[in-house]
Amino acid sequence: MAISYFLPLLLSLITISSVSAYFQRDVDITWGDGRGQIKNNGELLTLSLDKSSGSGFQSKNEYLFGKIGMQMKLVPGNSAGTVTTLYLKSPGTTWDEIDFEFLGNSSGEPYTLHTNVYTQGKGDKEQQFKLWFDPTADFHTYTILWNPQRIIFTVDGTPIREFKNMESIGTLFPKDRPMRMYSSLWNADDWATRGGLVKTDWSKAPFTASYRGFNQEACVWSNGKSSCPNGSKKGTTGSWLSQELDSTAQQRMRWVQRNYMIYNYCTDSKRFPQGLPKECLAA
């Protein structure tokens, strides 16, 4: 089934916009001893993994709410044991985090796209998907929209998951801690592929993932202040700061979840013998 849906979004004048940005300006390669490289005059970034180490980078900016997107082309061929990530995270031992994790697989088998949300160091809110395309054949856009009311995960503009602010029923929601964008490529063959049953084939190394088109439309946090008025607690009507899914977007998300979701913590009664989390019952 062809995907022709695009999530409409009006951009707010109060936020920054950096579309198809130059990586030298907007990110720092933070680890990997040369395995992370910026190429093509700053328009392309690659991360590599070999038996010695993986690699990673982070945004120069911190954000308190934003729409953060990246075009990514994942490790091709036998990627078993590898994990490629794109996520937002705050520092500290009780951190907030919003995750895309791409778990590799044997040649010919699909990647697993793992999503999660942490607040104050507490996660356990996993949903996992198989994608409806080959994420290694070309670049695809993965976006986290994070505003005070909800978090929306999208793939090529199609929403796959929504995590609403349900603090009114006691569910934690990340809204007070600024976060940076991070990405990494690393080895996790003790758990990543079929629970660790399939190990990394190091004869295929180095493994390489590619990035372009970093898009940051966000409230930048600097020197204890937000670039958005009122500390970003309230969005401008029509902007991503108050964005929600309309009926068409909800329908597209349900289609993805019906056909491509392979795990949902909200339906795992064995994991929660004392009862499902409150946000699952309220959804």
The catalytic residue positions are 97, 101
Residue 127 burial by Cβ neighbours in a 10 Å radius (0-12, 13-18, 19+)? buried
The amino acid present at 259, given as its one-letter code, is: N
Return the CA Rg of the chain.
18
Residue 13 burial by Cβ neighbours in a 10 Å radius (0-12, 13-18, 19+)? exposed
Q: Are 252 and 37 in contact (CB under 8 A)?
A: no
Q: Are 267 and 154 in contact (CB under 8 A)?
A: no
The Cα 101–Cα 201 span in angstroms is 20
For the chain, how long is the longest CA-to-CA vector? Answer: 55
CB atoms within 10 A of CB 132: 17
